[in-house]
């Protein structure tokens, strides 16, 4: 049909309408069903199919063969009778086209070429067979109804459009027919496949199927429908695993290849955009290869077809979902169809064929092999698809098509002067209405049927897109029946177009739950999608979000960074406040350091008590009891100042911890330094003629300690005045937590405090080292040397440890250095004294303290 179309167009344009009519001699049979009227409506239906389908028992798949006797299509014959019923109903109605009689010319053909001839005959207005010597007067129809198929309609609609004769189809859904440039006179009472394809894509998305296969019939209907579906599916995030096409006339190998593709595919949902012929062939082939577990999505061309049960593999189609035009009721149609009899149409061969097909008898005596009809046959008691009016879908479209033409004619006849339908504000002549005027009137037709359905056409000639979602379910009789489980109305807002009702859905293979068909599982919150290289967008890996980022949605493409004060939880699906970190009494490290600090205070207090209780003994008096008690007091402060480093930093604690540490340690080292100088001075005072002790008596000792300490106090005052330490919220050292610390303020001030302490400790160490071998039985200098050695070692190792320790461990290192150096001073200087006082009292005598010893004793 598509190949002969250009030639026919050229012929029409070159010869002209009048001459072309004369060329139609014998090219078309007379109309099968006719009725005269003031206005005539044409109809084109295919009462017979040109091919039949049989199964070759030697093959594993169906094959197509030319039939010996074509099959009568009762549904098409029913369409023609509905057209006649609607015309008769209009002729009897006083509300529409009063005093006007509608007639009809209906062609029943088989094959595309017969359809083209019928369309051209209707366009030419041929009344009777053309004679050899002249042409008869033409009587053009006002509109042509039909055809049921998109391909035949495409073949003749473009030709008829040149004559500006309206063509109204009830079943041709190809989106290509909406092209107003190619088909300027085409209308249809069934929605375009464009809307159906988008509805099907939304259906697939609704059930979460993102990985589907697509199979179409190998013609323009299938290609346009499946391409529109794929485009809409991609907009909804649905991926197509494969897209195949075949026709019922293809070789068996083609169908075998498609079944293999389906078998190897991982998708479990198949979108089938084809007619009932192709779906039955495919279902049978899959059934024979035992390929099950598929969820079918069907186009309206097959989803409600009653002949599906005739196929061998119809059980595979159980649970199929698809959209079909809404069911309707036509009052009086059932009785009219049951009253049909061949006597009503004595000249119609197709009516006789229908009758013989229904009752399996012959109305002609020339067929001796078939039983003759008795004449008593009646459709009143026949239960068939032809007389069934319980589910009128496409049949109602024929009914609406007739009424659309009638309303267009009615508007032309009832046109008011001055308010015409045409550009010159004029009205048509009611006695000579032309098809092009009907065409213009159809564009603005808008009426409501008896059932309350609104009928109108948009600028492309399309009807409103309203569908019922049909679910194929197997009845008790073993047949497939469509159950309406939802609706779709494209005229509603986007969020309300698709609505499911409460009727349970039967899924493919009889499943009770929605089947799953995805290339990759959903990425749960806490992960994000990463596309797999070289594969469709629906195929992805789920990668956990990095630390500090979250995804709280399913199938998230990106991970979101948490705000600066928040961090991701373990599941990476929520941002939680960052943990605030500081050295606390509640943690083990803080508790241990606090215990050791208090233990140091306790031991220092015990030592003080021991020395105080034995202050009159030679040992205590010989080692400068006043400086010893002051040293014990300063050590107590040193142990206590470590507690200021534990706990939540505040403005006062930050200023106190470093200054208290610096001052108490200078006080401590000053006392040790004083004791060391006293040892050296005492040795010099024992030499003959020496009077050095008067220069470093008790008063000088107190002043030296006070002077050394005041220098540190001055450094601390300058530090606190210029740039003091302050609480600091550190959010950059660690990404997952917030560190509360004391910023130094002035680093110079901090290192000046430490440097001064180190300077005094170094001076003390040097002096004690020089006095370590003085000839006394109890030389305190060697213990001071050892204590200063420990002190310096601790603080030298403190510097790199302090710089490299992260977070709260920096504070812990500083506390450890304070405690270690304090314990070193306590144990090295006072433990030997306590040992002698408590365990060696015989050595705590003036004689033993002042007695001279041998060289070996000096080394002691």
* Mean pLDDT within 590-612: 92
Q: State the Cα angle at 60 between 54 and 64, rounded to 5°.
A: 30
Q: Which of 604, 714, 741, 727 is nearest to 659 (CA)?
A: 714
* Helix, strand, coil percent values for the chain (each to nearest 5): 45, 15, 40
pLDDT tops 60 at residue 2: no
Q: Which of 155, 158, 240, 232 is nearest to 195 (CA)?
A: 232
* Mean pLDDT within 159-165: 91
Look at residue 684 in the predicted model and tell me its pLDDT: 57
pLDDT tops 50 at residue 590: yes
How many CA atoms lie less than 13 Å away from 586 in the CB half-sphere? 3
- Residue pointed to by tokens 């485009």: 231
From residue 240, how far is each of 236, 271, 296, 669, 699 by CA, in Å? 12, 10, 14, 83, 100
Q: State the Cα angle at 857 between 853 and 860, rounded to 5°.
A: 140
Per-residue pLDDT tens over the stretch 119-129: 888 888 755 44
pLDDT tops 60 at residue 851: no
Break the chain into its structural domains and give their ranges: 5-50+76-190+329-341+391-452, 193-326+464-510, 527-577, 588-852
* Mean pLDDT within 434-441: 92
Look at residue 423 in the predicted model and tell me its pLDDT: 58
Query: How many CB atoms are closer than 10 A to CB 247?
Result: 18
Residue that wins the pLDDT comparison between 572 and 789: 572
pLDDT tops 90 at residue 254: yes
Look at residue 775 in the predicted model and tell me its pLDDT: 55
Look at residue 23 in the predicted model and tell me its pLDDT: 41
* Mean pLDDT within 67-95: 86
Tokens of 759: 């300077």
pLDDT tops 90 at residue 7: no
Terminal Cα distance for the chain, rounded: 125
Per-residue pLDDT tens over the stretch 706-725: 888 899 899 999 999 999 99
**DSSP structural state of residue 732:** S
What CA–CA distance (Å, rounded) separates 145 from 147? 7
Question: In which band, very low, low, confident or very high, does the pLDDT at 393 lie, cut at 50, 70 and 90?
Answer: confident
pLDDT tops 90 at residue 348: no
Look at residue 256 in the predicted model and tell me its pLDDT: 93
* Average pLDDT for the chain: 82
Query: 22-36, 456-470, 486-500, 833-847 — which is least confidently predicted?
Result: 22-36
Query: How many CB atoms are closer than 10 A to CB 826?
Result: 21
For residues 708, 712, 713, 717, the Cα torsion angle rounded to the nearest 10 degrees is 150
CB 314 within 8 A of CB 322: no
* Mean pLDDT within 632-661: 89
Considering the four listed CATH numbers 3.40.50.300, 3.90.76.10, 3.40.50.2300, 1.10.1200.10, the one that applies to the domain covering 5-50+76-190+329-341+391-452 is 3.40.50.2300
Highest-scoring range by mean pLDDT, 8-22, 81-95, 746-760: 81-95
Indicate if 193-326+464-510 has the same CATH topology as 5-50+76-190+329-341+391-452: yes
What CA–CA distance (Å, rounded) separates 504 from 167? 40
Q: In what order do the strands lie in the sheet with 39-45?
A: 33-35, 102-108, 39-45, 143-145, 167-169, 186-188
Question: In which band, very low, low, confident or very high, does the pLDDT at 852 lie, cut at 50, 70 and 90?
Answer: very low
* Mean pLDDT within 391-399: 91
DSSP 3-state of 560 = strand
Indicate the fold that domain 193-326+464-510 takes in CATH.
Rossmann fold (3.40.50)
pLDDT tops 80 at residue 345: yes
Per-residue pLDDT tens over the stretch 442-473: 999 999 998 889 999 999 999 988 999 999 98
Residue 712: phi and psi, rounded to 5, are: -65, -40
Share of the chain above pLDDT 70, in %: 85
Look at residue 64 in the predicted model and tell me its pLDDT: 34
Give me the architecture of the 588-852 domain, per CATH: Up-down Bundle (1.20)
Q: State the Cα angle at 712 between 708 and 717, rounded to 5°.
A: 145
Tokens of 710: 């005041």
Highest-scoring range by mean pLDDT, 15-24, 269-278, 508-517, 626-635: 269-278
pLDDT tops 80 at residue 677: no
How many CA atoms lie less than 13 Å away from 501 in the CB half-sphere? 11
């Amino acid at each position: 049909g598509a190949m002969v179309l250009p030639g026919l167009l050229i012929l029409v344009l070159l010869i002209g309408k009048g001459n072309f009519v004369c060329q139609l001699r014998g090219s078309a049979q007379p109309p099968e069903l006719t009725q005269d009227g003031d206005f005539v409506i044409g109809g084109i239906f295919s009462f017979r199919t040109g091919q039949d389908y049989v199964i070759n028992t030697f093959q594993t798949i169906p094959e197509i063969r030319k039939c010996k006797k074509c099959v009568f299509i009762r549904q098409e014959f029913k369409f023609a009778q509905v057209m006649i019923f609607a015309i008769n109903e209009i002729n009897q109605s006083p509300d529409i086209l009063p005093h006007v009689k509608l007639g009809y010319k209906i062609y029943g053909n088989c094959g595309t070429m017969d359809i083209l001839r019928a369309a051209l005959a209707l366009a030419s207005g041929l009344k009777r067979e053309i004679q050899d010597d002249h042409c008869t007067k033409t009587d053009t129809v006002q509109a042509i109804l039909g055809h049921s198929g998109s391909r035949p309609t495409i073949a003749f609609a473009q030709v008829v459009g040149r004559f500006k004769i309206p063509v109204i189809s009830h079943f041709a859904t190809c989106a290509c027919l909406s092209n107003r440039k190619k088909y300027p006179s085409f209308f249809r009472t069934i929605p375009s496949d464009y809307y159906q394809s988008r509805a099907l894509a939304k259906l697939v998305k609704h059930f979460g199927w993102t990985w589907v296969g697509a199979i179409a019939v190998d013609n323009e209907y299938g290609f346009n429908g499946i391409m529109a579906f794929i485009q809409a599916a991609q907009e909804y995030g649905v991926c197509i695993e494969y897209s195949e096409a075949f026709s019922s006339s293809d070789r068996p190998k083609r169908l075998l290849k498609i079944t293999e593709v389906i078998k190897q595919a991982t998708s479990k949902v198949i979108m089938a955009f084809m007619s009932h012929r192709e779906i039955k062939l495919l279902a049978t082939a899959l059934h024979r290869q035992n390929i099950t577990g598929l969820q079918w999505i069907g186009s309206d061309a097959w989803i409600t077809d009653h002949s599906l049960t005739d196929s061998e593999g119809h059980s595979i189609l159980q649970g199929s979902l698809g959209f079909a035009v809404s069911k309707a009721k036509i009052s009086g149609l059932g009785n009219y169809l049951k009253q049909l009899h061949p006597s009503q149409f004595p000249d119609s061969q197709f009516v006789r064929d229908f009758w013989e097909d229904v009752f399996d008898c012959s109305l002609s005596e020339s067929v001796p092999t078939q039983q003759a009809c008795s004449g008593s046959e009646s459709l009143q008691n026949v239960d068939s698809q032809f007389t069934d009016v319980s589910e009128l879908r496409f049949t109602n479209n024929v009914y609406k098509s007739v009424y659309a033409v009638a309303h267009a004619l009615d508007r032309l006849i009832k046109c008011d002067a001055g308010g015409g339908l045409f550009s010159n504000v004029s009205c048509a002549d009611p006695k000579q209405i032309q098809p092009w005027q009907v065409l213009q009137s159809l564009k603005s037709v808008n009426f409501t049927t008896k059932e309350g359905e609104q009928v109108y056409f948009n600028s492309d000639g399309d009807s409103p897109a309203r569908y019922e979602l049909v679910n194929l379910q197997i009845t008790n009789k073993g047949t497939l029946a469509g159950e309406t489980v939802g609706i779709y109305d494209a005229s509603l807002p986007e969020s309300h177009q698709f609505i499911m009702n409460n009727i349970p859905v039967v899924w493919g293979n009889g499943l009770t739950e929605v089947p799953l068909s995805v290339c990759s599982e959903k990425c749960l919150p806490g992960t994000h999608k990463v596309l797999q290289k070289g594969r469709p967008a629906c195929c992805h890996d789920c990668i956990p979000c990095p630390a500090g980022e979250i995804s709280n949605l399913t199938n998230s493409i990106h991970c979101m960074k948490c705000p600066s004060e928040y961090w991701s939880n373990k599941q990476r699906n929520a941002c939680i406040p960052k943990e605030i970190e500081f050295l606390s009494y509640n943690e083990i490290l803080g508790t241990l350091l606090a215990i050791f600090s208090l233990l140091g205070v306790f031991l220092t207090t015990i030592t003080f008590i021991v020395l105080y209780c034995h202050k009159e003994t030679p040992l205590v008096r010989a080692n400068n009891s006043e400086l010893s008690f002051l040293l014990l007091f300063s050590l107590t402060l040193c142990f206590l100042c470590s507690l200021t480093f534990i706990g939540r930093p505040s403005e006062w604690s930050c200023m106190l911890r470093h200054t208290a540490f610096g001052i108490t340690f200078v006080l401590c080292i000053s006392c040790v330094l004083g004791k060391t100088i006293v040892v050296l001075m005492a040795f010099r005072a024992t030499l003959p003629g020496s009077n050095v002790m008067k220069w470093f008596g008790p008063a000088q000792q107190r002043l030296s300690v006070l002077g050394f300490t005041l220098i540190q106090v001055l450094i601390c005052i300058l530090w606190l005045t210029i740039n003091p330490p302050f609480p600091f919220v550190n959010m950059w050292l660690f990404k997952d937590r917030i560190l509360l610390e004391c910023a130094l303020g002035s680093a110079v001030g901090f290192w000046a405090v430490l440097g001064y302490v180190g300077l005094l400790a170094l001076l003390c160490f040097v002096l004690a080292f020089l006095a370590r071998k003085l000839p006394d039985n109890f030389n305190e200098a060697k213990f001071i040397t050892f204590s200063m050695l420990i002190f310096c070692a601790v603080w030298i190792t403190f510097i790199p440890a302090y710089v490299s320790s992260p977070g709260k461990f920096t504070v812990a290192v500083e506390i450890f250095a304070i405690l270690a150096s304090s314990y070193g001073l306590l144990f090295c200087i006072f433990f030997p004294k306590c040992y002698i006082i408590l365990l060696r009292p015989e050595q705590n005598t003036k004689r033993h303290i002042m007695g001279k010893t041998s060289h070996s004793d000096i080394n002691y």
